Amino acid sequence: MSNRQVDESKILCAASSYEKKFFLSENFRELPQEVKQELQIMCVLFTEDVGGILTCVFDDDGNLNLIVTAGENDVYYDDIGSELKIKQMRREKEELFSQLEMYYKAKNGIN
């Protein structure tokens, strides 16, 4: 993944296998508790399974992107497993992601 800068206001959440932490942006604190919990479980399980850092971030069009980064010397990070897991999550969480995208677009006036 490239080292491009991400607009912090567009970050929904992130989890790190290095720090064993989950982060939910204050910009999304009004989300229902069930959604917050689902995001936390999804992100933490992902990083526990393949390693690295998973960041869920909205792009300029309001699409939710799952960005994975890993340390250069992380021998435990599974690049192939990461791609497969992202595809699996996109299938299994399609409704959740779609609802989050609609929410983000409505909140930010994106058509």
In a domain, 3, yes or no: no
* pLDDT band with cut points at 50, 70 and 90 for residue 8: confident
In a domain, 2, yes or no: no
In a domain, 81, yes or no: yes
d(C-alpha 74, C-alpha 55), whole Å: 17
Domain that holds residue 92: 8-105
In a domain, 31, yes or no: yes
In a domain, 14, yes or no: yes
Structure tokens given for 51: 């390693």
Instruction: Classify burial at 96, counting beta carbons within 10 Å of its beta carbon; exposed 0-12, middle 13-18, buried 19 or more.
Output: middle
* pLDDT band with cut points at 50, 70 and 90 for residue 5: low
Number of domains in the chain: 1
Structure tokens given for 64: 């939710």
pTM, full prediction:
0.90
pLDDT per residue as tens digits for the range 34-45: 999 999 999 999
Question: What is the predicted pLDDT for the residue at 1?
Answer: 40
d(C-alpha 31, C-alpha 45), whole Å: 20
